[in-house]
Every structure is written in C-alpha cells, then in structure tokens.
Amino acid sequence: MNTPSVPLLRALTEAGVGSRRRIADAIKNGSVEVNGEPVESFRHPVNLDTDRVSVNGKLVDLKPRRTVYLMVNKPAGIITTPSDERGRRTVLDILPAKYRQLRLYPVGRLDKDSTGLLLLTNDGELTYRLTHPKFEHEKEYLIQIDGRLKPAEKTKLERGFELEDGMTYPVVVKEIKSQPPFNYSITMHEGRKRQVRRMLASLGYRIPALKRVRMGSLHLGNLREGATRELTPQEVQSLLSSRPPKSAAKKF
C-alpha cells in the first residue's frame, strides 16, 4: 500500500518535533531540509516512507514505532488537538498514560462543545482515507434542537444549500425519539469546521447537544464518555479497505 504524501508542517508536528509555531518558524528560517534541500513551504509534500527530513541538521524519524488506532468518547470541554497554546485540556490529556507518547493525532475534528466518537492514530494512510472528501466516509451525529424541523427545512438540509464557505452536500436527516435529549440524527460525508452547527444555525436553530456516533463502519457503541479503546484488527481493515464511490471522480 502506497503511503500518501502529507504536508511538511503536519509531518513534523505529528513526529513530535515541537509545537506548530516552533516548526513553522524553523521552516520559514530555512532550517528544515527535505532530501538535503532547504524547504520553506509549509505544504511541501513529504512521503513518510521515502523522504529524509532534517531540522537544524538533525534527521527526524517520521515513522512511528508502533501503529495505534484508538477510539475515544470525547467529553464536552475538551479540545481536539494534540496541544493547545492557551493551556486548555486537549484530547491527549484524557488518554491513558501509555498512549500519550505515541504521536497520536486526531482524525478530523469535534468542536469543544461536542461529544462522541473521535479516532486518534499515528497511521497517515488511515487519516488520509477518513478525511479526504473523495472517499466519502459517512459521519453520523445525534443532535438536540429546540422544537421540530419544518418539512421545508428538513428538505433543504437533505438537498444541500449555500453556507458562507460554499454549497453543502446532501445529508440524511432522521427524527429520533429513543435517545433523549437528542431528537434528530444527521448523516453526512463532509467535515467542514462546525458544519452541523452552522447548517442548523442558518435555519434559526441552536444545538445544545451534539454527539458523533459513527465514522464510516466504526460505531461508538456503549463506550462510556471519557473512555478509550483500541480498534480491533477487523475494524481497522474495514476502514482501510473501503473504496471511493464510483461517483467521486465526477465530484472532485
């Protein structure tokens, strides 16, 4: 399986070289070399298998020693980043100690106020497959809103409509009654920043609670809030073996 290229800044951040700001400064200052050549672009593509990257003349080990796939049921109030310069608690802070030095990185994002399924891994291939739009991995969210969607509002969500950053793709909206306080589920394959909240806000609804319960074939299940578990080999293989829909080539 070919390892996809990743941007230089991301590769070094995930390798644990330092904070994004420190790495960005090193790149701008010409202190980072790829295959012996100085590189000053944050987005310079790096192949984790074949490229040699050094910082201040010191070779960086870009490949983690142990591949880990970790599911977390994220509580509210936790930041979905490896570190936070403002000192807020991050998802790495709530992991068992044995995982904290493994260069794990969140796959996608959940905003601070949202809860539910979050995947952390040091496998760049899986991250690529779960986050690149062409693979169209579904993400399912349970949401709580005050009141009920009007039929026209539900249709608008399902067909897609214009937000400030472009047209949304169609989603699947279902009313639910068995999982209070949530009263709707939304299934989508996009992952824009705070997209579910922004879509509902554009219709005049506030979301007091939002919980992700599925990413592709991976279900949160009964994992308690704040808890973690490693994925089974079968779960990992299912995520890695999924292929883009035939229609994806026409969309991107």
3-state secondary structure 3-70: CCEEEHHHHHHHCCCCCHHHHHHHHHCCCEEECCEECCCCCCEEECCCCCEEECCEECCCCCCCCCEE
For the chain, percent helix, then strand, then coil, each to nearest 5? 25, 25, 50
115, 231: one domain: yes
Dihedrals φ, ψ of 169, to 5°?
Answer: -80, 160
* Residue type at position 166: G
Q: How confident is the model at residue 213 (pLDDT cuts 50, 70, 90)?
A: very high
Q: What is the pLDDT of residue 251?
A: 35
Encode pLDDT of 88-105 as tens digits: 999 999 999 988 877 788
- Domain count for the chain, please give it: 3
59: its two tokens: 């070779």
105, 223: one domain: yes
Angle 216-217-220 (CA atoms, 0-180°, nearest 5)?
A: 95
Catalytic-labelled residue, pool 111, 113, 123, 146: 111
**Do the strands 209-215 and 115-121 form a parallel or antiparallel pair, or are they unpaired?**
parallel
Specify if 168 maps to a domain: yes
User: The tokens 């904290």 sit on which residue?
Assistant: 100
Residue span of the structural domain in which 158 resides: 138-215
Q: What is the CATH number of the domain that holds 170?
A: 3.30.70.1560
- Residue 161 CA to residue 72 CA, distance in Å, equals 32
Number of H helices, E strands in the chain: 7, 17
Q: Which long-range contacts (CB under 8 A, 24 or more apart) does 247-250 make?
A: 248/133, 248/134, 248/135, 248/136, 249/134
Q: What is the CATH number of the domain that holds 9?
A: 3.10.290.10
Greater pLDDT, 241 or 106:
106
Percentage of residues in the chain having pLDDT higher than 70: 90
- Residue 117 CA to residue 12 CA, distance in Å, equals 26
- pLDDT over 70 at 244, yes or no: no
- Residue 33 CA to residue 247 CA, distance in Å, equals 39
Q: What is the pLDDT of residue 249?
A: 34
Q: How confident is the model at residue 192 (pLDDT cuts 50, 70, 90)?
A: confident
210, 158: one domain: yes
Q: What is the pLDDT of residue 123?
A: 80
8 A C-beta contact, residue 3 and residue 125: yes
Q: What is the CATH number of the domain that holds 84?
A: 3.30.70.580
128, 147: one domain: no
47, 107: one domain: no
Q: How confident is the model at residue 16 (pLDDT cuts 50, 70, 90)?
A: low
Q: What is the pLDDT of residue 3?
A: 60
150, 173: one domain: yes
Q: Based on the residue annotation, tell me whether 146 is a catalytic residue of this protein.
A: no
Encode pLDDT of 123-153 as tens digits: 877 877 787 667 778 899 999 999 999 999 9
Specify if 142 maps to a domain: yes
8 A C-beta contact, residue 87 and residue 96: no
- pLDDT over 90 at 53, yes or no: yes
Q: What is the pLDDT of residue 250?
A: 35
Q: How confident is the model at residue 241 (pLDDT cuts 50, 70, 90)?
A: confident
Specify if 249 maps to a domain: no
Helix axes 233-241, 124-131, angle to 10 degrees: 50
125, 142: one domain: no
